[in-house]
Amino acid sequence: MRILMITNNYADRTRGGVEMHVHNLSHALVVAGHEVTVARTSQGPSIHELDLQVPVVPVLGHSSAKDQRMSNKLSNIPLVRFASNFLGRITTAIKAGRRLREDPEFLAAFDIIHHHDFITSAIVARMLRGIAIKQIWTNHLGEFLILRRLPVVGPILTRYLTRTFDAGIGPSGELSDPTTVSCPIEYIPNGVNIDAFAPLSSTDRNLLRAKRGLGQNDLIAIVPRRWAPTKGVLFAAEAMSSEHWPSNCSVIFAGAGETEFPEYSSEIREALTAAVASFEIVDTLSMGEMAEALQGADICIIPSLMEATSLSALEAMAVCLPIVSTDVGGLPEIVHDGVNGHLVPSADAKAIALAVANICRLSADERQKMGSVSRTQVVSTYSWDEIGARTLKVYREVSV
């Protein structure tokens, strides 16, 4: 099949969960013998080189320096930032839809259009509804849950906005609830690259930790989350100042991306001034660097306030880490309390500290046993080969 992925951001510029989902799904589809092109609606040139030769088309070209300066100024005002981002998505969607609609020859080269945003996707799909190409949508969270939870009007809005899609995919039970959308929707979880994210041998792991100056009794917890309010990183930072936090457990905050939400980042840094253990903040990591960071850690913390099936959690599970996770969204579907980690209430720093302390008290063998359960679960259910095959099944069903 010939597939056009439409996404706001992509891995050639940023490395968030949605971007890597689109990248890895594209890779799985190409390996299976299909043709994939990515149409990116965000502006700007490619920054990162990718190991997969999938054509990337920046639908709207590049933003001007003036536009970027104005965007940076607006980002310093929280309410203005929210309104600007929301209106910006609508404007971007209209421009992208118009640009694509004006190029029927480009669109005619595809059998399936697969959207990966919500507001942008709904508008673009509506503008393209006259074309004879089936349109699929993956519900990656974001605006969907925010809108759906609005009193009275929320479900009406989400059903209206999903009328144009021929089918949907949701990566958790909550995000694939058929009562909240108008199109048929199927549960397909996020996937993980089980080859890139794999546990090291004991020898290699010890060498990696020795390079970091870690002793045998030193423990590392990793928080592989962007510093965005919905990711709950502030509560992980506050947990480090709790009397329950183990002093021999340091923390790596990986992939912070502090410039995106500067006020929230300042709150996190302020909370960390009271930390009882050492910590390190790493702004941006490549996939290989993230894999290495996870491979050298002992525990992974996913403190999200909203989440689907967290890609970061799956990657940590793939390298055999026990997980401390909030009990939101699709996380209880992958983290089983007392089996491969602990579930805690969201926005509860004390609960995070207690759960981390509980895992730190276990022996290395007991932590390894927890992690092995995670690895087995990921390999059997969340490999990209499996996710790609299930996604292709959706494509074929709507094409009949």
What tens digit of pLDDT does each residue of 146-195 get?
888 899 899 999 999 999 999 999 998 889 999 999 999 999 999 999 99
> Where do the domains of the chain lie, and which CATH numbers do they carry?
2-191+383-399 (3.40.50.2000), 202-381 (3.40.50.2000)
SS3 381: helix
pLDDT number for residue 257:
79
Instruction: Quickly count helices (H) and strands (E) in the chain.
Output: 15, 13
pLDDT number for residue 62:
52
What crossing angle do the helices spanning 311-318 and 17-31 adopt, rounded to 10°?
A: 60
pLDDT number for residue 81:
57
pLDDT number for residue 68:
45
Give kind and range of the element (H or E) at residue 6. strand 2-7
Burial of 202 (0-12, 13-18, 19+ CB in 10 A): exposed
What tens digit of pLDDT does each residue of 225-283 get?
999 999 999 999 999 999 999 999 999 999 887 888 899 999 999 999 999 999 999 98
pLDDT number for residue 84:
67
Q: Helices (DSSP H) in the chain: which residue ranges?
A: 17-31, 65-74, 78-101, 104-107, 119-127, 143-148, 153-161, 202-211, 233-239, 262-272, 287-295, 311-318, 349-360, 364-381, 384-399
The alpha carbon of residue 31 and the mean position of all alpha carbons in its chain are separated, in whole angstroms, by 22
Rounded Cα distance between 177 and 179, Å, is 6
- The CA-atom distances, in angstroms, between 18 and each of 36, 134, 384 are 16, 21, 14
Low-confidence ranges of the chain (pLDDT < 50): 64-77
Q: Smallest Cα–Cα separation from 241: which of 269, 274, 268?
A: 274
Give kind and range of the element (H or E) at residue 251. strand 249-254
SS3 143: helix
pLDDT number for residue 300:
99
CB 276 within 8 A of CB 181: no
CB 264 within 8 A of CB 234: yes
